[in-house]
C-alpha cells in the first residue's frame, strides 16, 4: 500500500450549533478519485475543508503529504474575481506565491488551454457561460500543478450536458497528471461515473455509512453509464444513502 496523500484520523468538528462531523476516518491514495455522497448537512463539505487545511478539526488528526500550492479547491460556484480577466483569475495562485507576472500569465494561458478554453484569456467572468466559468475555476486549481484536487459540488449549478462534459474533462485531466481527487456531490450517478471509490456519509453528525468501490478503469466511456457494473454500484450507493438518510432523520428527532 502506498503512503496516502491525505488522511483524516478520527476527526470531529463541532460548530456552535452542535457537532457537525465525526468521528470520521478517511484516507486518500495518490491518484485516487473519491466521491463523498450524502444528504445536506452530513459534513461532506466540512471534511473537504479539513483536507484543504481551510479548517481545523475540534478533535482528531489531519495529515497531508502535500504542501501549499499542492492542494487545490474548486468551489460550488466558479468563485472568480469579477473584475479580473480569465487569465488574471487563473494566474492568481501563482502570483500570490510570488511568481513574476509574465511567467504566471504564461502558465495560466497553458492551464486555460488544458481545460479547452484557449483564446478567452481577456474575457471577464460576466462574459462567460456557467460551464466556461467553471472551467476557468478548474484551470485556476490546476495552474499550480497540485497533487490533490478538492471539488465541492463543482457541477451542482450546471445543466446535465455541461455536467457530463465537465466530468469527462476532469477524467482527462486526471489521466494527464494523476492527481488525487476528492469531490463532494449530491448526485449518485455522477459519483459512480467519476470515482474509483464512493463514500456515503450520514448526517447528525457526519459519519461514513457505506459506499462502494468502482473498479472499472478510468477514464470511462459515456457508455459506462449503461453497464451492469455501473447499475449495481449505483444501486448499492443509493441503498446506503437511503439508510444514511433514515439514520440522519432518526437522530434529528
Partner 1 sequence: MNRALSLLAPFVLIAILLAVWEIVCRALAVPLFLLPPPSAIAVATAQNAPLLMSSAWNTLSMAVLAWIAASLFACGLALLVGTHSLIEDAVRPLAVVIQVTPIVAIAPLVNIWAGLDHPQRGVVGLAAVVAFFPIFSGALTGLKGADPDLERLFDLYGATRLQRLFRLRLPAAVPFVLEGHKVAAGLAVVGAVVAEFVAGSGGAQGLAWRILEASNRLQTAKMFAALLVLAAMGVALYTLLQTAERVILRRWRGR
Minimum gap (Å) between residue 87 Cβ and partner 1? 12
Task: Give 75 or 224: the residue with its C-beta nearer to partner 1.
Answer: 75
Residue 65, all three cell numbers: 503529504
10 touches partner 1 (CB under 8 A): no
Closest to 22 measured CA to CA, from 46, 54, 51, 49: 46
Instruction: Output the CA–CA distances (angstroms, integers) from residue 27 to 33, 71, 125, in the order listed.
Output: 11, 15, 35
75 touches partner 1 (CB under 8 A): yes
Closest to 198 measured CA to CA, from 208, 114, 207: 208
The answer to whether the beta carbons of residues 33 and 218 sit under 8 Å apart is yes
* Segment interacting with partner 1, rule: CB under 8 A, options 124-132, 180-188, 193-201, 207-215: 124-132
When binding is defined by CB under 8 A, the residue of 81, 103, 113, 242 that contacts partner 1 is 81
Residue 147, all three cell numbers: 497533487
123 touches partner 1 (CB under 8 A): yes
**Which residue blocks in 11-159 are alpha helix, DSSP H?**
44-52, 86-96, 101-114, 130-142
Binding to partner 1 (CB under 8 A): which residues in 205-234? none
Binding to partner 1 (CB under 8 A): which residues in 134-163? 144
When binding is defined by CB under 8 A, the residue of 19, 23, 41, 69 that contacts partner 1 is 69
Closest to 9 measured CA to CA, from 49, 66, 47: 47
Local structure of 205: helix, strand or coil: coil
Total binding residues toward partner 1, as defined by CB under 8 A: 28
Minimum gap (Å) between residue 214 Cβ and partner 1? 29
Minimum gap (Å) between residue 82 Cβ and partner 1? 5
* Segment interacting with partner 1, rule: CB under 8 A, options 14-22, 122-130, 183-191, 228-236: 122-130
DSSP E strand boundaries for 136-241: 148-152, 180-185, 197-202, 207-213
Q: Which residues bind partner 1 (CB under 8 A)?
A: 49, 52-54, 68-69, 71-73, 75, 77, 79, 81-85, 92-93, 95-97, 123-127, 144
Amino acid at each position: 500500500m502506498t503512503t496516502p496523500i491525505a488522511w483524516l484520523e478520527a476527526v470531529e468538528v463541532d460548530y456552535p450549533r452542535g457537532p457537525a462531523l465525526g468521528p470520521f476516518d478517511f484516507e486518500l491514495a495518490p491518484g485516487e478519485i473519491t466521491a463523498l455522497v450524502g444528504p445536506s448537512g452530513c459534513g461532506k463539505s466540512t471534511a473537504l475543508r479539513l483536507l484543504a487545511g481551510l479548517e481545523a478539526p475540534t478533535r482528531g488528526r489531519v495529515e497531508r503529504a502535500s504542501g501549499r500550492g499542492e492542494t487545490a479547491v474548486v468551489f460550488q460556484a466558479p468563485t472568480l474575481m469579477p473584475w479580473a480577466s480569465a487569465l488574471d483569475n487563473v494566474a492568481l495562485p501563482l502570483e500570490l506565491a510570488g511568481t513574476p507576472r509574465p511567467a504566471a500569465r504564461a502558465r495560466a494561458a497553458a492551464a486555460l488551454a488544458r481545460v479547452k478554453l484557449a483564446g478567452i484569456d481577456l474575457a471577464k467572468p460576466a462574459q462567460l457561460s456557467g460551464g466556461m466559468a467553471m472551467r476557468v475555476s478548474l484551470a485556476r486549481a490546476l495552474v499550480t500543478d497540485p497533487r490533490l484536487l478538492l471539488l465541492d459540488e463543482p457541477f451542482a449549478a450546471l445543466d446535465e450536458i455541461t455536467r457530463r462534459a465537465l466530468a469527462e474533462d476532469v477524467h482527462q485531466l486526471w489521466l494527464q497528471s494523476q492527481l488525487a481527487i476528492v469531490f463532494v456531490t449530491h448526485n449518485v450517478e455522477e459519483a459512480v461515473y467519476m470515482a474509483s471509490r464512493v463514500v456515503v456519509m450520514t448526517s447528525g453528525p457526519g459519519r461514513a455509512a457505506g459506499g462502494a468501490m468502482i473498479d472499472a478503469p478510468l477514464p470511462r466511456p459515456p457508455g459506462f453509464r449503461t453497464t451492469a457494473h455501473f447499475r449495481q454500484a449505483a444501486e448499492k450507493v443509493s441503498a446506503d444513502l437511503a439508510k444514511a438518510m433514515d439514520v440522519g432523520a432518526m437522530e434529528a428527532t
